[in-house]
Amino acid sequence: MFNNKSILITGGTGSFGKRFVRKILKDYKPNKVIIFSRDELKQYEMAKVFSQDKYSCMRYFIGDVRDHSRLSRALVGVDYVIHAAALKHVPAAEYNPFEYIKTNVIGAQNIIEACIDQKVKKVVALSTDKAANPINLYGATKLCSDKLFVAGNSYSGHSGTQFSVVRYGNVIGSRGSVIPFFLNIKSDGIIPITDERMTRFWISLDQGIDLVLKAFSVDYGGGIFVPKIPSMKVIDVAKVLAPECEIKIIGIRPGEKLHECMIGEDDSPYTFEYDDHFIIQPAIHNWYLEPTRFGNGKKVQDGFSYSSDKNTQLLNSKELLSILQKYTLNNSELVFLDEVQERSTVPLNMTSILKNEIPLQMK
């Protein structure tokens, strides 16, 4: 799919971008892989791992999705785009709403228009469970972004750029994830939990990448891809990571939900189920009625919803610990063991970290 093609990743220095680049360089022979982001330090750090000397296809472009002209220039000759750039911090969005709209909404519009103008073949935008039935500004901006990307297929026409969306929950090990946060504060003896009832969806970076690749593989645009992934109470995650610590209930933060939802009841008429994922088809133009779109998918029942508290697939402590064995902790970030050597990181045994056998300063 990506052999001899040019791929651009917005926000490409983040956890997803770095893991996706590793996957692409391993499995394909792309013409170019362009990292488009606004943080020169993160690009410098990433370029030390994926250097142009070692990978001649790599390119690093400084730019912001708010800047349409820069985007348009960067997209010249690009075949595929993964849109991962976003402002994501829920409480910060409540206090800085204009900035989130500029990046998450106007930025999405800029991506869509620039990709159509530059005749990009396909775009997959990363979304979040917070975009379904949003109660916070971050979720509202991502819902708006999702709607823009779905509608982008109307602007591009049948032979133009195809736009799809991938929506998933909390990524284990990503920057800002609660798991490295818990691991780094467990030495204090107290783990803060906003509400003991709170549940979340959990997905690994590799699962997220597989879903993005699946979205690229279909021959139409407009679908919102939702993975079937497990849920777990946040308090249970804390007990697995720091069983010796006291749990302190601190109250829900501004804009925070008790439970997350990835498919709301109102989307059920347009949702089709597959073995390991769902696809919410576009309601516009009655596209969801076209048999070529849903293939062997089975339409869900009216009133169906997919939420973290009613999810029948639960992540237990043994499974979480098994997943964590693939990581080590480095500077407050979970790092895959297969990345340790490239980062010049001293590997730390996750079992020892969980047992407090390694002091915090070594982490």
Torsion angle, CA of 13/18/20/22, rounded to 10 degrees? 140
Radius of gyration of the chain, Cα coordinates, nearest whole angstrom: 20
- What is the Cα–Cα distance from 290 to 145, expressed in whole angstroms? 24
Q: Is 102 exposed, middle or buried (0-12, 13-18, 19+ CB in 10 A)?
A: middle
Amino acid residing at 131: A
Could you tell me which residues are beta bridge partners of residue 33?
7, 58
| 3-state SS, residue 35 | strand
Residue 130 designated active-site: yes
Could you tell me which residues are beta bridge partners of residue 168?
128
Half-sphere exposure of 54 (CA within 13 A, CB side): 10
The CA–CA distances, whole Å, from 173 to 34, 109, 153, 205, 334 equal 24, 29, 33, 8, 5
- What is the Cα–Cα distance from 260 to 308, expressed in whole angstroms? 5
- What is the Cα–Cα distance from 193 to 250, expressed in whole angstroms? 6
Name the catalytic one among 42, 88, 122, 130.
130
Backbone angles phi, psi at 272, to 5 degrees: -125, 140
Torsion angle, CA of 192/196/14/355, rounded to 10 degrees? 60
Host H or E run for residue 109: helix 107-117
Host H or E run for residue 156: helix 137-156
For residue 284, what is the DSSP state?
G
Half-sphere exposure of 78 (CA within 13 A, CB side): 28
Sign of the dihedral through C-alpha 172, 173, 174, 179: positive
Residues annotated catalytic, as ranges:
130
